[in-house]
Amino acid sequence: MSRILLLNGPNLGILGKREPEIYGTATLSDIEAAVAAEVAGRGWKLAAYQHESEGELIHTIQDNYDTVGAIVNPGALMIAGWSLRDALASYPAPFIEVHLSNVWARESFRHESVLAPLATGLIAGLGAFGYQLAARALLERIPA
């Protein structure tokens, strides 16, 4: 059965209680359940991981080359996560970068993503719904 990878970086495991005025009230479990439901129609399974450190995220990518696509919210690693960027460069399937908040409407240090040039697309500012949209985009991109 095909699997899709959902990868969340540092500080995203506490969604729901992390600055809800910025990131919303959905928990990471809520988001994972919504993405799993989104891809279930195609018969895909979800492989969901959240790690606080870049090294663990890299290991997870390397261990999941057999997934058909990925949704990645790198958190602040978007800014200077060069090793994460290199790991995604070797990831063999398409990935969509997601940010809950509109990072370009926030502090200027959040305006650069070292991952974005490798991504098939990027969704920002649509809250938890952005993950579902990313799942739909992968469903549309990846042949059945």
Run of H or E residues at 4 = strand 3-8
Token pair 């997870």 is at which residue? 60
Task: Please say if 99 is a catalytic residue.
Answer: yes
Applying CB under 6 A, among 26, 39, 72, 75 the residue interacting with ligand DQA is 75
Applying CB under 6 A, among 100, 114, 119, 123 the residue interacting with ligand DQA is 100
Q: Report the nearest approach of ligand DQA to the CB of residue 93 (Å).
A: 21
Residue ranges in the chain assigned as alpha helix (H): 20-23, 28-40, 54-62, 77-80, 82-89, 129-141
Residue of 51, 59, 91, 99 marked catalytic: 99
Applying CB under 6 A, among 2, 101, 120, 139 the residue interacting with ligand DQA is 101
Task: Please say if 91 is a catalytic residue.
Answer: no
CB 18 within 8 A of CB 8: no
Helix%, strand%, coil% for the chain, nearest 5: 40, 20, 40
Contact between 105 and ligand DQA by CB under 6 A: the answer reads: no
Site residues (CB under 6 A) for ligand DQA?
11, 73, 75-76, 99-101, 103, 110
